[in-house]
């Protein structure tokens, strides 16, 4: 009995579902994989497959010509596309602190910091409303982003650049003091107990922000102490 060979679209989807497949794909990457499974396939045919795949949620469009690979397990996340949009982008700030439970105001916006360096062209900063969601890019000098040991700064074992919660907080503090930034200081209701104190202090020294961190941390403790006092007073009055 002759076994029927799967069509090229099925073979393409199987290739994109393999663990080694790219998690974020541009059109050129998809065409390249399609030509591996069916040499000579035309670009219009691949483009039609892309449109169908977006409609079937096998791909998620980020911006024109850039897609998240949803055939993988787990599927690609929007934050993984940041570095494709801004070279060197590092997921940080509210995204990282919210995911870690340090900041309780969850947002599905993707926040990232972008290195400012002669090695890179001047990036476009601020808010980007993309088809896949909202990105917010902030600029920081590369020397500040690279200050400190890598294991204190970066989350290991992920396929994209992602700051640790401790680094994300230090980036926020740095930006809140920068005359080029309009971001306010981190709120005082962050859960400091969820952070690694050693990492935080080492990074603050490396970034030369130890005094800034101490002032902000003192303000946080003072606010929390005042709240605890108010709660105890209210509790006694209710008795």
Same domain flag for 65 and 168: no
Same domain flag for 191 and 139: yes
Same domain flag for 59 and 110: no
Digitized pLDDT (tens) for each residue of the chain, 239 residues in all: 456 677 889 999 999 999 999 999 999 999 999 999 999 999 999 999 999 999 999 999 999 999 999 999 999 999 999 999 999 999 999 999 999 999 888 788 999 999 998 887 888 899 999 998 999 999 999 999 999 999 999 999 888 999 999 999 999 999 998 888 888 889 888 888 899 999 999 999 999 999 999 988 888 878 766 665 555 555 555 55
**Residue 31's domain spans which residues?**
8-69
One DSSP character per residue, 34-102 reads HHHHSTT--HHHHHHHHHHHHHTTSEEEEETTEEEETTSSSPP-GGGGHHHHSTT-EE-HHHHHHHTTS
**Which of 43, 69, 95 is a domain's end point?**
69
One DSSP character per residue, 103-116 reads SSS---SEEEEEEE
CA dihedral for 227, 102, 142, 120, sign (positive or negative): negative
Same domain flag for 214 and 140: yes
Instruction: Give domain status of residue 57, yes or no.
Output: yes
The number of domains in the chain is: 2
Instruction: Give domain status of residue 121, yes or no.
Output: yes
**Which of 69, 104, 119 is a domain's end point?**
69
**Token pair for 207:** 């970034």
Instruction: Give domain status of residue 127, yes or no.
Output: yes
């Amino acid at each position: 009995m002759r076994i029927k060979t799967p069509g090229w679209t099925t073979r393409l989807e199987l290739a994109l579902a393999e663990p080694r497949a790219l998690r974020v794909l541009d059109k050129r990457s998809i065409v390249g994989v399609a030509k591996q499974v069916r040499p000579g396939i035309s670009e219009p045919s691949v483009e039609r497959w892309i449109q169908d795949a977006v409609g079937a949620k096998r791909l998620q469009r980020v911006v024109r010509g850039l897609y998240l690979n949803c055939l993988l397990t787990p599927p690609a996340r929007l934050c993984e596309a940041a570095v494709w949009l801004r070279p060197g982008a590092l997921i940080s700030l509210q995204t990282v602190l919210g995911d870690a439970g340090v900041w309780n105001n969850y947002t599905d916006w993707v926040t990232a910091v972008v290195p400012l360096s002669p090695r890179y062209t001047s990036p476009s900063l601020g808010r980007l409303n993309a088809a896949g969601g909202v990105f917010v890019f902030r600029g920081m000098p590369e020397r500040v982003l690279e200050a400190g040991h890598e294991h204190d700064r970066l989350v290991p074992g992920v396929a994209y650049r992602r700051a640790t919660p401790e680094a994300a907080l230090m980036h926020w503090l740095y930006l809140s003091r920068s005359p080029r930034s309009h971001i306010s200081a981190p709120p005082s209701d962050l859960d400091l107990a969820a952070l690694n104190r050693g990492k935080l202090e080492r990074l603050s020294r490396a970034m030369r922000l130890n005094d800034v961190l101490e002032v902000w941390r003192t303000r946080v403790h003072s606010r929390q102490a005042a709240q605890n006092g108010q709660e105890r007073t209210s509790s006694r009055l209710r008795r």
